[in-house]
């Protein structure tokens, strides 16, 4: 990894208030940088959201973190590679994107599987999803 810090943006179950099990393994490895807007769309897959970077892109609400070494990316790549409950289901691939806010390049995890338009989270906010038949959390 280069000497320059890298950034990663979370938009779903990895958000701080979602309490994903992997978060305990990331303690001290991520430096919070506040809220961010990720270009894309999110879809409700039941237990988790799916980010798609396809057009037309909206502003997906997320959290931005600075990464100073490679270890969080190694952990997250393994965690996101497949569905942790059913390994036969698609996983996520890490991609570099230019955030809509702040002006920053960051890693995000894009869903590898198909989505349906009726799964779109119209609020573009996993923590406050509505408008697609999902119950509010």
Q: What's the number of domains the chain is made of?
A: 1
Residues paired with residue 123 on neighbouring β-strands, in sequence order: none
72 compared with 84, residue with greater pLDDT:
72
Residues paired with residue 63 on neighbouring β-strands, in sequence order: 10, 35
Helices assigned H by DSSP within 70-130: 71-80
**pLDDT tens readout for residues 2-29:** 557 799 999 998 998 887 888 889 999 9
C-beta neighbour count of 114 within 10 angstroms: 10
On whether the CB atoms of residues 45 and 80 are closer than 8 A, the answer is: no
Range of lowest pLDDT (10-24, 36-50, 120-134): 120-134
Residue 27 lies in a domain: yes
Residue 135 lies in a domain: no
On whether the CB atoms of residues 102 and 53 are closer than 8 A, the answer is: no
For 49, the domain range is 6-128
Residue 59 lies in a domain: yes
Residue 137 lies in a domain: no
Residue 54 lies in a domain: yes
C-beta neighbour count of 105 within 10 angstroms: 10
Residue 1 lies in a domain: no
Dist CA 14 CA 12 (whole Å): 5
On whether the CB atoms of residues 89 and 83 are closer than 8 A, the answer is: yes
pLDDT reading at 78 higher than 70: yes
Both tokens assigned to 132: 């697609």
Prediction pTM value: 0.87
């Amino acid at each position: 990894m280069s000497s320059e810090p890298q950034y990663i943006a979370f938009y779903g179950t990895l958000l701080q208030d979602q309490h994903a099990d992997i978060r305990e393994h990331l303690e001290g490895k991520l430096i919070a940088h506040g809220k961010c807007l990720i270009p894309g769309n999110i879809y409700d897959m039941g237990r988790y959201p799916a980010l798609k970077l396809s057009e037309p892109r909206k502003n997906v609400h997320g959290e931005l973190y600075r990464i100073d070494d490679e270890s969080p990316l190694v952990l997250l790549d393994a965690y996101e590679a497949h569905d942790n409950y059913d390994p036969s289901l698609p996983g996520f691939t890490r991609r570099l994107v230019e955030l809509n806010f702040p002006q920053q390049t960051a890693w995000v995890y894009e869903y590898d599987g198909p989505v349906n338009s009726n799964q779109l989270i119209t609020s573009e906010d996993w923590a406050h999803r509505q408008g697609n038949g999902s119950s509010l959390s």
